[in-house]
Structure 1
Amino acid sequence: MNPRWNHLVIRAALAAAAATGAAAQATDDPPPTLKVGFAKQDITPDPTQRDVWLAGYGQNRKAKGIHDPLFARVLTLHDGQRRIGLVSVDLIGFMYPDTKQVRAQAAKVGLEFEYILVAATHNHEGPDTMGLWGPSPVRSGVDRPWLDGVIVQIVQALGEAVAAEAPAVARYGTARSEELLHDSRLPIVKDDVLRTVRWFHPDGRPLAGLVQWNCHPENMGSKNQQITADFCWATVRDLETAWECPVVYVTGALGGLMSAPEGLLKGRAGHPLREGDFEFAEVYGAAVADLAKRADAQAQPLTLTPLAAFAKPIALPLSNPTYKLLKAVGVLKRDAFEDTGDPYRFGPVTIRGDLKVAVETEVAYLRLGELHVAAIPGELYPELVNGRYQEPVEPNVDFPDAPLEEPLLKLLPGDKVLILGLANDEIGYIIPKRQWDDKAPFAYGRDKNQYGEINSVGPEAAPVIHRVLADRIAEARAASQPADR
């Protein structure tokens, strides 16, 4: 890939967009209320040319081939004054320092955005982008030159989407399917709502679509050595055929731990499908697409203007001893700050292991007309979305008296919502504090703790993130008051 060539492509895209705008003004037509653009870039690394360490499960899982390509898919929305970019990548996570690089490089080449959001699907069958799954526990699996190239490709796609922007109208739909989710951690709670947005040209022709679902893309399991987007590739394929437009897949609340149920779906030969089978990924992806079609069939018109974004970098307490150790040995390459106890106040950068520390991340609220978007930087537990907390609290949890976090569906000021997990970062599991269970005796009569805490920054993640999201929503309300009077 030639970054200079990409730079020239973006410049050409901007020139084309400017020419289109000038032509529209020449006709004296009023500017469109909303414009939407789409573009995508193939970001698949070539395992015959470089070592590709597959993410998830354990170390030393090296890719041997490619089953289906990985993409960065981009939607841009422009209301005549502000432009917002939504990016989805078929990766395990896209870390906050890399998100900041996307924004900086986009600005450097002249792309004007109010806000750019980069969300990962949490694909367990693509390259390690975090550092946890290299050839050994103390060697990062991140291929930095490849990942730097992905950043360039995302910026290129943003420019191409801007150039492709066209007037659009939208509609929003939902559908439920509890049976398409398996929860492997007690208590059993799911966000079983699939959410869709579709955009159309004013004359009714399809323009683009988006689907948000709440399941780990891990159907292929720990033995697979083929690069794939897991079930998401089949979901996008089927919807693009049915909807006759490009489609973006985004992940919602998949902590807790949401996966595809084995044995429920049958293969072409009539046998139950299980982890590690490409037919399982394909059939499950098709089932998710069918659920999205059902949501779209009952969708309602959606006003998406005006556009506004309210985001804040925060210092999130990091208490996970394994993460702290991996940072100390250079596997996790993130700055650590002395924890001040205030998420809005950063202490100095530190390498001391005896201090309470925090990492920088971001929480955002997007108000897109009638659509309310929560952008959460990790794997959100479904209870934190719908408030289905276990009552009374399970005995032996670590913080039985912790206040319950206000569920997102109550925090968000409307019923048309998107919950974007792994948005701008991947900090791991975001667990209700009252469910945190890392010390014996363990909840549910278990002789060891459940899976979850080992891949979380710590028990303060959920309370802090919910507080910050509530602050951003309050900020949005305050900003709208003059216009509302």
Structure 2
Amino acid sequence: MSSEHHRRPTATAPTAAAADPATGRLRVGAARADITPEDLTGLHPMPGEFSGVHDPLFLRALYLDDSETEAALVSLDLIEAGDVSEVRRRVESELGIPADHVVVTATHTHNAPRIAGVSPGALAHAGGPESFAYTEFVYDRILAALRTARDTARPARFGVGTGSADVNVNREVYADGRWSLGHNADGPSDKTVWVLKFEDLTGRPIALLVNYAVHCTVAFGTSEISGDLAGAACRHMEDVLRDDGSPGAVALWTPGPLGDQAPRIDLGVAFGVRPGERQKELAYAAMAAQGLMVAAEALRVARGLGDLDPAVRLGARQRTVACLVKPGQDVMETMRQEAADTVPLRLSLIRIGDVALAGVSGEVVTEVGRRLRERSPLTRTILVSLANDRIGYLPDDARFDRPVHSVNGCPVRRGYAENAIVDGVLDMLAGRPAREHRGGPA
């Protein structure tokens, strides 16, 4: 199934005025909203309950308009968002932004709730009634934030650059005859910090969009609400931008190919073990430090960008690929997988000039992200994991020869995920129809 649009349809709600060609085609708006839950009961997707709030959770919204095409991206300080088709439809109905021009992702902080339902066949932590009530709260905040971003959009310029931060490490370790999660310094790891900068025509930043590949699990196990590494990074960037004279600037975090990437320093206690206060203090210090490292590098890259472009063209597409299901193995007891023959792999594309934001609805591993980048006709192709759904881990085909965590937690049969992601994004970039994929053994 494929749903794709390029140009602005007839809006069902008022939209921002078209850009003045004399001042710049691109218009950009951004907004931030607090989504910290007041009642924590029943919201922990892992075993146990949240005991309190260490730092608040936010959603950050980015609105883009080139006078012919609108697109929106929302980043949530949550562990994951399931099938968010409902809120994307609401965005189209209430704001006039096409549903398939909207991408919703999560920073993947493990010290936060999940929202939305689990797609049939997906491997995810299904929520209860409290989770669905919280989902509606977040959906309302998404609509409000996008409305603010759209209504405050102004002529803008755009630029992109890359840096590097060594705060992630491959986490699939082979020792004592078995595979486990840990730190594998010799394993593949992408250190790239992607930075997309949007500023108004006076040079004041509107938004920074950062993409980096790491699990936000530094403070996982403290049982306290936290934005973790990504939240710390975004707060630091926004504080610096505010001090520099841009009080409304927003920093959005998007997860890269993080399926096999851990933070270098984390809480360091076994899952289910109650940490002491000193251990928690050290974990939060490590969270702030590693977040600062990524944020500082992103700010350095943003400041070093040359002339930004006010006349970039936008494009947006989405499609869904039905992949044969593989049952999960040795997964957590809270993981649920509804019986189904196929599971929907959702792909999205937001193109900003010669930059492609390629969204994938799961936790993609390093090799798949690398293969996509090598084969893409656009050298600036940025993979965004956990986009518009979270169906499970999405490893490369070669990894199926090893019983690693990303394979055990993958709901897709070998031969589907890697090819469907790479071919699907390339086909969307080229405007080609979806192709059929044939997987291997379950």
Contact residue 173 and residue 300 of structure 1 kept, 8 A? no
Structure 2 residue 26 is matched with structure 1 residue 39: no
Structure 2 residue 322 is matched with structure 1 residue 366: no
Give the aligned partner of residue 430 of structure 1: 394
Secondary structure of 1:87 counterpart: strand
Structure 2 residue 149 is matched with structure 1 residue 161: yes
Greater relative contact order (CA < 8 Å, ≥ 6 in sequence): 2
1:96-115 CA-partner distances (Å, limit 9, x unpaired): 2xx21112111222433360
In structure 2, C-alpha distance between the alignment counterparts of 1:250 and 1:472, rounded to whole Å = 20
Contact residue 194 and residue 211 of structure 1 kept, 8 A? yes
One-letter code aligned to 1:220: A
Structure 2 residue 420 is matched with structure 1 residue 455: no
One-letter code aligned to 2:202: D
Q: 1:32 to 1:298 in 2, by over 3 A?
A: closer
In structure 2, C-alpha distance between the alignment counterparts of 1:34 and 1:116, rounded to whole Å = 17
Among 282, 307, 315, which residue is 2:288 paired with?
Answer: 282
Give the aligned partner of residue 327 of structure 2: 320
1:421 CA displacement: 0.9
1:2-61 CA-partner distances (Å, limit 9, x unpaired): xxxxxxxxxxxx76x65xx39x88xxx7473000011122111123xx514323xx41x2
Give the aligned partner of residue 350 of structure 1: none
1:301 CA displacement: 4.2
One-letter code aligned to 1:106: V
Range with greater deviation from structure 2 (253-262 or 279-288):
253-262
In structure 2, C-alpha distance between the alignment counterparts of 1:384 and 1:241, rounded to whole Å = 34
In structure 2, C-alpha distance between the alignment counterparts of 1:211 and 1:257, rounded to whole Å = 17
One-letter code aligned to 2:161: G
Among 398, 422, 435, which residue is 1:466 paired with?
Answer: 422
Taking structure 2 as the reference length, the TM-score comes to 0.78
Secondary structure of 2:206 counterpart: strand
Q: 1:127 to 1:74 in 2, by over 3 A?
A: same
Higher strand share: 2
Give the aligned partner of residue 354 of structure 1: none
Give the aligned partner of residue 404 of structure 1: none
Q: For 1:387-426, list aligned pairs within 5 A.
A: 407-426=371-390
In structure 1, C-alpha distance between the alignment counterparts of 2:373 and 2:226, rounded to whole Å = 33
Q: 1:81 to 1:130 in 2, by over 3 A?
A: closer
Range with greater deviation from structure 2 (298-307 or 244-253):
298-307
Secondary structure of 2:81 counterpart: coil
Among 94, 105, 108, which residue is 1:122 paired with?
Answer: 108
- Structure 1 unmatched ranges of 5 or more: 1-13, 264-271, 338-356, 387-406, 438-442, 444-448, 478-485
In structure 1, C-alpha distance between the alignment counterparts of 2:291 and 2:332, rounded to whole Å = 37
Structure 2 residue 312 is matched with structure 1 residue 291: no
Aligned CA RMSD, in angstroms, stands at 3.3
Secondary structure of 1:234 counterpart: helix
Taking structure 1 as the reference length, the TM-score comes to 0.72
Contact residue 220 and residue 276 of structure 1 kept, 8 A? no
In structure 2, C-alpha distance between the alignment counterparts of 1:95 and 1:181, rounded to whole Å = 25
Q: 1:451 to 1:159 in 2, by over 3 A?
A: same
Contact residue 198 and residue 206 of structure 2 kept, 8 A? yes
1:185-220 CA-partner distances (Å, limit 9, x unpaired): 156001110000111111112221111111111000
Number of residue-to-residue matches in the alignment: 385
In structure 2, C-alpha distance between the alignment counterparts of 1:138 and 1:63, rounded to whole Å = 15
Q: Which runs of 4+ in 1 moved over 6 A?
A: 272-276, 323-327
